[in-house]
Amino acid sequence: MSLQQAPQSRVFVELVPWADRGRENNVVSGSELLPGFRRPLSSAQTQTATREVHVSGTAELSASPDRAQVAVLVSSTKETAAEAKKSVCRRLDYITQSLQQQGLQAENVTVTKDFRRVENAYHMEAEVCITFTEFGKMQNICNFLIEKLDSSVVISQPQFYHTPSSVENLRRKACLVAVENARRKAQEVCNVVGQTLGKPLLIKEEETKEWEGQVDDLQSSRLSGSLTIQQKIKSATIHAASKVFITFEVKGKEKKRKNL
C-alpha cells in the first residue's frame, strides 16, 4: 500500500530592518500584529532606518629613543689655583672645539664648572653634557676624545631617552593604525555579506598601554655598565598599544543602471 503524500506547503519570508524593538513583548491591540510579528516598514521608514556594523581594532607600535646624553668629566688637583684652572681649561677648550668641528650645535652642549679647596690643594672639575640626535656620531666623538685625551677625561655611558614630542607621535600613530585596522575589518565584513561600508558613526579609543623594552639577558640587565649600545637602545625603546571601537553605517549594494 502506498502512503498518501502530504500536501505541499510554501513558506514566504521577508527580511525587514529591525525596528520598534520595544513593542515586541508588549500587549497589542486588535489592530496591531501579535508579538514577534512586524509589518514591513514603509519606504520612508526604511530610508530612515540605519544599519550598522560594530568592530574593534588594535595596533601596537614601537619607537627607539631619539636622544642620547653623554657626560665628559675633566678634573685637576694642584697646589695653586692657577695651575688647577689652567689644566682643566686647556682640556675643556680642546673638547668644545672638537665638538664644534663635528657640527654639534651650542644648544646641545652644556658646561658646568666646580672649584674648591681640598686640604692643602685646589681642585677644579668641569663637566660637559652633550646631547646627541645621531648615535653614530656620538660613538665617533667619544672614541676620538678617549684616543686623544686618554685617562685625563672620564666619559660616562650614554643615557638614551625620548623627547615628549616623540612619545606623543608614537601614541598618535598607534591610534591611527588601530582605526585603520578596524576600518579594514569592517570593509571585509561588508564584502562578505554583499553590502557597502558607509561613513563612521562613532569612533572611541577604549584602551591604551605603554611600556619600555626589556633586555632579554636578565643577568646583563642587572649590570647596566655591561650592556652594549644596542642593548641600551632596546631597553629604552618604548612600545604603545591602542584599542578602538568604531560603528560604521552599512549601505546596500548600489545597482548598476542599465542604459536603455
- Write the pLDDT tens digit of every residue in 144-202: 999 999 888 999 999 999 999 999 999 999 999 999 999 999 999 999 999 999 999 99
User: What confidence tier does 259 reach under pLDDT thresholds 50, 70, 90?
Assistant: low
Residue 31 has pLDDT above 60, yes or no: no
Predicted pLDDT of residue 15 = 35
Sign of the Cα pseudo-torsion (243, 165, 237, 225, in order):
negative
Q: Are residues 61 and 170 in contact, defined by beta-carbon separation less than 8 angstroms?
A: yes
Predicted pLDDT of residue 150 = 85
CB atoms within 10 A of CB 239: 15
Predicted pLDDT of residue 219 = 52
Q: Which of 7-11, 242-246, 251-255 has the lowest mean pLDDT?
A: 7-11
Predicted pLDDT of residue 23 = 42
Predicted pLDDT of residue 26 = 46
**C-alpha cell recorded at residue 132:** 646627541
| Average pLDDT for the chain | 82
Strand partners, 71: 129
Q: Are residues 250 and 222 in contact, defined by beta-carbon separation less than 8 angstroms?
A: no
In this structure, which amino acid lies at residue 74?
A: V
pTM over 0.75: no
